[in-house]
Chains A and B, each alone.
Chain A
Amino acid sequence: EPEVTQTPSHQVTQMGQEVILRCVPISNHLYFYWYRQILGQKVEFLVSFYNNEISEKSEIFDDQFSVERPDGSNFTLKIRSTKLEDSAMYFCASRRTGSHEQYFGPGTRLTVT
Chain B
Amino acid sequence: DQQVKQNSPSLSVQEGRISILNCDYTNSMFDYFLWYKKYPAEGPTFLISISSIKDKNEDGRFTVFLNKSAKHLSLHIVPSQPGDSAVYFCAASAKTDSWGKLQFGAGTQVVVTP
Q: In this complex, which of A100, A102, A106 has the most chain B Cβ atoms within 10 angstroms of its Cβ?
A: A100
Which interface class (under 10, 10 to 19, 20 to 34, 35 or more) fits A?
20 to 34
Interface of A is mostly: strand
Output the least CB separation between A90 and chain B (Å): 10
Interface: B97 (CB within 8 A):
yes
Binds A, one of B18-26, B40-48, B71-79: B40-48
**In the bound complex, what is the Cα–Cα distance between A58 and B103 (angstroms)?**
11
Interface pair B102/A45, CB less than 8 Å apart: yes
Partner pick for B49 among A4, A55, A101, CB 8 A cutoff: A101
Interface: B32 (CB within 8 A):
yes
Chain B interfacial positions (CB closer than 8 Å to A): 32, 34, 36, 41-46, 49, 51, 89, 91, 93, 97, 99-107
Chain A interfacial positions (CB closer than 8 Å to B): 4, 6, 31, 33, 35, 41-45, 48, 50, 55-56, 58, 91, 93, 95, 100-107
